[in-house]
Amino acid sequence: MTRSTWLRLAPYLFTLGFFALWEIACRALSISNFVLPPPSAVWGALVQYQKPLYTNAFHTLWMTSLGFALSIVFGLALGLLVGSSKLIYAGLSPLLVGFNSIPKVAVVPILVIWFGVGWLPPVLTAFVISFFPIVVNVATGLATIEPETEDVLKALGASRLDIMTKVGIPRSLPYLFGALKVSITLAYVGSVIGEQNASNLGLGNLITRASADFNVPLIFAALLVLAVLGVFLVAIVDVVESRMTGWAKRSQLSNA
């Protein structure tokens, strides 16, 4: 086989290898299902509980997507605002960093007090946990425009808005997509935390109930579903990214 075929197969081979090792380790060391179930037991749980897993996964996907969409809209807007003005950048950055340092788990009880148990706390947790990287990256993309580029445009009489739309926004797109990949996984973390603490639905809630029943294989099955959903959404972001900002990767290659 050629190197490129290996390269293409590598993700699948490594994943299979990981599960094989896991299975072998569990059997060889005869680890109890109660501590660490082998993949075969997790698969069994997946099949046995496929219906609740399916409905709850769908719910979690919804919560995550909503929270993620909110954080794209607000993150982009705030990032553009912060990146376009040195004053706002200086003023807001301690606030943003401080806000981001707050453990979001601690915020969930407040959300429950405000909105009650339901779909809002998971969505909002997903939102607050995932929007920070977007703000920071978009702002960085805007703030690092080459001074010469700005000079060329300013000497032509370009307004700030011109510079923003002609250069700033296209330039910050690769940064935005970099952030989206981090954010989408964070959004999952957020929605699951929200569901565990303040919802009657979703994988987070399923995990909480499974752990109350000491149903460890089901917990692992739910975690596996989460991982697969995460990979799936990052892959979508990847495709959109290569469509919209292919120039960024190629230009780096050719300048190297």
Partner 1 sequence: MTAFVELHDVTHVYGGGDGPPAVEGLSLKVKDGEFVAIVGPSGCGKSTLMKLATGLQRAKSGTVIVDGREVVEPIKITGMAFQNPVMLPWRTTLQNLLLPLEIVQPHRSRLRAHKAEYVARAEMLLETVGLKGMGSKFPWQLSGGMQQRASLCRSLIHEPKLLMLDEPFGALDAFTREELWCVIRDLHAQRGVTVILVTHDLREAVFLADRVFCMSARPGRIIAEREIGFARPRDLDITYTPEFAAIVHELRGHIREARAVA
* Closer residue to partner 1, CB minimum distance, 146 or 227: 146
Q: In this chain, which of 69, 158, 223, 237 binds partner 1, going by CB under 8 A?
A: 158
Dihedral angle computed from the Cα positions of residues 91, 93, 99 and 103, in that order, rounded to the nearest 10 degrees = -160
> Least distance in Å: CB of 247 to partner 1?
5
* Closer residue to partner 1, CB minimum distance, 205 or 245: 245
Residue pair 192/60 in contact (Cβ under 8 Å)? The answer is: yes
64 forms part of the interface with partner 1 (CB under 8 A): no
Q: In this chain, which of 9, 146, 160, 232 binds partner 1, going by CB under 8 A?
A: 146
How far are the Cα atoms of 43, 131, 174 from residue 138, in angstroms, in the given order?
41, 11, 9
* Joined tokens for residue 44: 């069994």
151 forms part of the interface with partner 1 (CB under 8 A): yes
Neighbours of 163 (CB within 10 A): 19
Closest by CA to 189, choosing from 204, 210, 205, is 204
> Least distance in Å: CB of 146 to partner 1?
6
Q: In this chain, which of 30, 106, 148, 239 binds partner 1, going by CB under 8 A?
A: 148
Tell me whether residue 154 is exposed, middle or buried, using C-beta atoms within 10 angstroms of its C-beta: 0 to 12, 13 to 18, 19 or more.
Answer: middle
162-221 binders of partner 1 (CB under 8 A): 162, 166-167, 170-171, 173
Site of interaction with partner 1 (CB under 8 A)? 146, 148-149, 151-158, 162, 166-167, 170-171, 173, 245, 247-248, 250-251, 254-255
